Chain A
Amino acid sequence: MIAATGIDLRLGASDVLSGARLCTRPGQVVGLIGPNGSGKSSLLRCLYGMLRPNRGAVLIDDKAIESMSQRSIARAIAVVAQDASADGIDITVGEFVLLGRHVHRGDHEGFTDDDCKVALDGLEMVDLSGFAERHLHEMSGGERQRVMIARCIAQQSPVILLDEPTNHLDVRYQHEVLTLVRQLKNDTIVVLHDLNLAGRYCDHLALLDRGRVVHQGQPDDVLRSDVLEPVYGIEVRRLADGQHPHLAFGPLTR
């Protein structure tokens, strides 16, 4: 389990996070939502050690993250980061997913047959078996995001963090990727912009506003106009849509 226990983060002159609290829930998908600049990505980056909070602690299984090596952090947490476009290197899908096994091998060790099998299993889980020899830059946006998730699967870390995994994806792929995330049944935290997607695919939501988690709970409890309107500054109407909350938005008329 990962927990941020009321962390403050200053970047330059601005307070990005102030007393933010968040933790994973066993086998559940926790959605991190909030307006632009509310600190969602920064909070996520604190959770895997990319950013170090100025106050408060991030605990991984009750151990302070500062006391852990980057490798042991990665054994606990797999990440689909925003820079995960892999543009810098013309690598094949199979090679990319196999790199997820790095955390389990020493720098000098080669990958084993077992590693290759785990990587291929990862590709199969995201429905991309047979794509191992393809080059990553030949893949569409949706396929690429699934490759990123396959790498997380190959890493075999109990926790998965995803930073806006549905960015730049068309509606079909947005649903496809999030369905996949749910099927994994890892302890997951996902940053999402789309509140309707958050309501549909998350078990639990945390709403961030100006660096603070202002509301947490089940999607039904968080996706309410009286909770969202003051944070987003927009009119929120809830439409009936069976089992999931469904929202429509309009400019605030006051």
Chain B
Amino acid sequence: MIVAIGLGPVGVIPPTALRIIGHHTIGVPEVMSWARTDDAIIWEVRLPRVLLGAIVGTALGVAGVTLQALVRNPLAEPYILGVSSGGSTGAAAAILFGVGSGLGPESVSLMAFLGALGALALVLALARSTGRITPSRMIVAGVAVGYLLSATTSLLILFADSAEGARAVMFWLLGSLANADWSTLPIGYLGMGAGMVLVYWWRRRLDLLALGDETAMASGVDPGRTRMVLVVVVALCVGFAVSLSGGIGFVGLAAPHIARRIVGPIHRHLVPASAALGAIILVWADVAARMVLQPRELPIGVVTGVLGAPVLVALVRKLPHNN
């Protein structure tokens, strides 16, 4: 992480980066022996950015692994719930039409979070229309809501008729950690952290749900209620992630797959491993995003997509044929 903090268009060697962080957090060393610009780059820009990447990556990894167990499909990923599309619609409305500008300086993030919540409410209402939530109903509801909201976002872009606005929305859609700052980090850590603690708390329920609803029920787990709670928790985590960094793809799909190959399918190991891998992937994808075309910055979603797709194809090719 320290290395990742140092890397960027302006490089800062790890020992200096460490000293800067030490200076700001525990007051050691007391005296600044480095350039003021390095200080600003590390403390104001890079560190929040890496910290945001770590928590968002963790949340996407955990959300992915949870949803894969809940819908019993290895291709499930955090965005099948339609939450990210909701976030995009909210953000597009804020960027293009200034909706919610009264909400303060973070209005885009707040609108994205509200959009994500709206999408979640819609998905739950549709998925529950005839009683309990089943995996297939959840997927269909998520996909339907996702399409509806993506179409809405496109319409907003068309109606706004602003090339600059469209570019801003596009950059947001592809995801970026560039908006990280100290004011939003605590709420992100708190929100996503709490959600992930619950997922880990219920790790064995995930094992049982992955085995089938009847098996889960016979083992003392109420599948309907467990799925409902976990969907809401995971969707909130993804809502936080999307509102702080846009729709970063592939991490939530690839991290659980790689983790499964390393530690196996039991969620006691799989949840922490997916979390760690999600964080590592996202932090380093962000390093690539700011290094590859420097001084220009790539949207991080482009990097995760370009790197993630071949990794995923390679993983799927290695799956046993009877799976």
Contact = CB atoms under 8 A, between A and B. Distances in A.
List the 7 closest pairs (A to B, CB-CB), nearest first: A74-B220, A81-B214, A79-B218, A71-B220, A83-B212, A89-B210, A103-B220
A31 to B, nearest CB: 20
Contact of B212 (A86, A100, A108, A155): A86
27 contacts: A45-B214, A48-B218, A50-B214, A70-B221, A70-B222, A74-B217, A74-B219, A75-B220, A77-B218, A78-B218, A79-B218, A81-B215, A81-B217, A83-B214, A84-B211, A84-B214, A88-B210, A89-B265, A90-B264, A90-B320, A91-B207, A91-B211, A95-B207, A102-B220, A107-B201, A107-B204, A137-B320
**Which of the four size classes fits the interface of chain A?**
35 or more
Contact of A102 (B204, B212, B214): B204
Nearest to B322: A137
Given A88-B212, A102-B221, 19 more contacts: A50-B213, A69-B220, A72-B220, A74-B217, A78-B218, A79-B214, A79-B215, A82-B214, A83-B215, A84-B214, A86-B215, A89-B207, A90-B264, A91-B265, A99-B204, A99-B207, A99-B211, A102-B208, A102-B219
Nearest to A81: B214
A107 B191 CA distance: 22
Contacts of B212: 81, 83-86, 88
Interface in A24-51: 45, 48-50
B257 interface: no
Contacts of A83: 212-215
A49 B217 CA distance: 8
Contacts of B260: 90
Interface of B: 69, 72, 201-202, 204-205, 207-208, 210-215, 217-222, 260, 264-266, 268, 320, 322-323
A88 to B, nearest CB: 4
B114 to A, nearest CB: 32
A95 B218 contact: no
A108 B201 contact: yes
Contacts of B323: 87, 90, 137
A77 B204 CA distance: 19
Contact of A48 (B72, B217, B265, B322): B217
